[in-house]
A and B are shown apart, each in its own frame.
Chain A
Amino acid sequence: MKVCVTAQEKDLNAQVDPRFGRCQYFIFVDTDNPENFEAVENPYKDAPGGAGVQSAQFVANKGVKKVYTGNVGPGARQVLESAGIEVVTVSGTVKEVIGA
């Protein structure tokens, strides 16, 4: 299953970034094959407004089924819910979160 984890660095040992819309990196992982991951710097982390909305749309366009993060704002939550993406609140490292 393809999931997204918000992270402070761009590898699997990174800590989960507790912010969704303004996280440092999005790590897209296939949980069946964790070594095959893609880390993308969040293009919206410095947006003056609507960072959550844009980040959520960005993640939704990647076709993920689940998002692991800290806090999701109301705008981002609405987009993720509409896209049918489950939001899971977590902390720790990316590796721990995806059980790799």
Chain B
Amino acid sequence: MKIAVLSGKGGTGKTTIAVSLALSLPGSQLIDCDVEEPNVHLFLNPEIKEEKVVNTLVPEVDYEKCNFCGYCAKICAYNALSVLKFGEKEGEILLFNHLCHGCGGCILLCPEKAMKEATRPVGVLRIGEGKGIKFVEGRLNISEVLAPLVIEEAKKLAQEDGVVILDAPPGTSCPAVATLKETDFALLVTEPTPFGLHDLELAYEVAKALKVPAGVVINKAGEDDIVEEFCSSRNLSILLKIPFKREIASAYAQGIPLVEAIPDYKVKFQELYNQIRGML
């Protein structure tokens, strides 16, 4: 079973929940899909056993064949190519790596068959184990933008049997959608603030659009019940509440998972998992 932990708003406690849920379920696997800023490793201190480079497809021009007709630039949906024609057989093709999505359209459709497949590294997958948990981390190279590609490659390493927990990036844009796609459950982590609620609603709408069943964890819970009101209006189950406590924040700041700092939470996370199973 694949459970994606997402929130919309950053800093609500996705990683806190994802790590503690994984540590409460023996044999589970935790995949850090926040490839722009992975931080699960800070709590698991995993031993990395393998690293795999993530490559994207890029076109390579065969200048012997190219006649600078400009068709590749015309059909590129991302405006990643520019063709400059200086003379009958002279010109230059400029590829803008950061605009290219690696779809291969230019390679496929070049009338002169002057484009061939090449690759370019954009990220790395780190695979290992920590605290008895199988660990996979996607890491996007600095200045790269193809986060969804790295996330999709990381997700290919998900174990077939047993529980897989995906720690999603904040937001509800492409990287969060890439994480949530084809998972069994969306665990929406929020906090009782107007921003937390606003982004919870966005995250919930994304899960609904992707037809992934969802439930809510309220982190830093206090007296304000704005999240409860929202959830009851949408028939959304609140599966766990974690109070706003200095003790929890302090453990987090030291890189200590919640279930290690307060072992009683292990049972609560196991109950959370059982509730999810019951909902599917």
Complex Cα spacing A53 to B82, Å: 7
Chain B residues closer than 8 Å to A75, beta-carbon distance: 96, 99
Whether B79 and A56, one on each chain, are in contact in the complex, defined by CB atoms closer than 8 angstroms, is: no
The segment from A11-19, A23-31, A42-50, A89-97 that touches chain B is: A42-50
* Assembled-state Cα–Cα distance A82/B95 (Å): 12
Kindly report which residue of chain B lies nearest to residue A60, judged by CB atoms: B84
Interface size of B by CB at 8 A reads 13
In B98-157, which residues have CB < 8 Å from any A CB? 99
A6 within 8 A of B: no
Query: Which residues between 40 and 97 of chain A lie within 8 Å of chain B, taking CB atoms?
Result: 44, 47, 49-51, 53-54, 56-57, 60, 75, 78-79, 82-83
- Interface assignment of B80: CB less than 8 Å from any CB of chain A: yes
Is the pair B92, A50 in contact by a Cβ cutoff of 8 Å? no
Q: Which of B73-103 contact A (CB under 8 A)?
A: 73, 76, 78-84, 92, 94, 96, 99
Are B99 and A49 in contact, CB atoms less than 8 angstroms apart?
Answer: yes
CB contacts (< 8 Å) of B96 on chain A: these are 50, 53, 75, 78
Q: Which residue of A53, A78, A82 is within 8 Å of B79 (Cβ)?
A: A53
Which residue on A lies nearest to B101, using beta carbons? A49
Contact between B82 and A56, CB atoms less than 8 A apart: yes
Q: Which residues of A contact B83 (CB under 8 A)?
A: 57
A50–B145 CA distance with the chains assembled, in angstroms: 14
Please report the C-alpha to C-alpha distance between residue A93 and residue B92 in the assembled complex, in whole angstroms.
Answer: 33
- Give Cα A79–Cα B85 distance, bound, in whole angstroms: 12
Mask: chain B, 55-88; 1 = CB below 8 Å from A; 0 = not: 0000000000000000001001011111110000
Cβ of A82 and Cβ of B94 under 8 Å apart?
Answer: yes
Contact A49 B79 (CB under 8 A): yes
B79 contacts A54, C-beta separation under 8 Å: yes
CB distance from B3 to the nearest CB of A (A): 32
Chain B residues contacting A53 (CB-CB under 8 Å) are 79-82, 94, 96, 99
A64 to B83 CA separation, bound complex (whole angstroms): 16
Minimum CB–CB distance for B83 against chain A, Å: 7
B84, A82: Cβ atoms under 8 Å? yes
By beta carbon, the residue of chain A nearest B73 is A57
Q: Considering only CB atoms, which chain A residue lies closest to B83 in the complex?
A: A57
Known: A49-B99, A50-B96, A53-B99. A79 touches B84 (CB 8 A): yes
Give the docked Cα–Cα distance between A49 and B96 (Å): 11
Interface centre among A49, A50, A78, A79 (most CB of B within 10 A): A50
Q: Which residue of B lies closest to A84 (CB)?
A: B86
User: Chain A's nearest CB lies how many Å from the CB of B14?
Assistant: 28
**CA–CA, A75 and B94, complex, Å:** 9
Smallest CB separation, B204 vs chain A (Å): 26
Residues of B near any A CB (own CB < 8 A): 73, 76, 78-84, 92, 94, 96, 99
Ordered by A's residue number, 17 sampled pairs between the chains whose C-beta atoms are within 8 Å are A49-B78, A49-B79, A49-B99, A50-B76, A50-B78, A50-B80, A50-B99, A51-B79, A53-B80, A53-B81, A53-B94, A53-B96, A54-B79, A78-B94, A78-B96, A79-B82, A83-B84
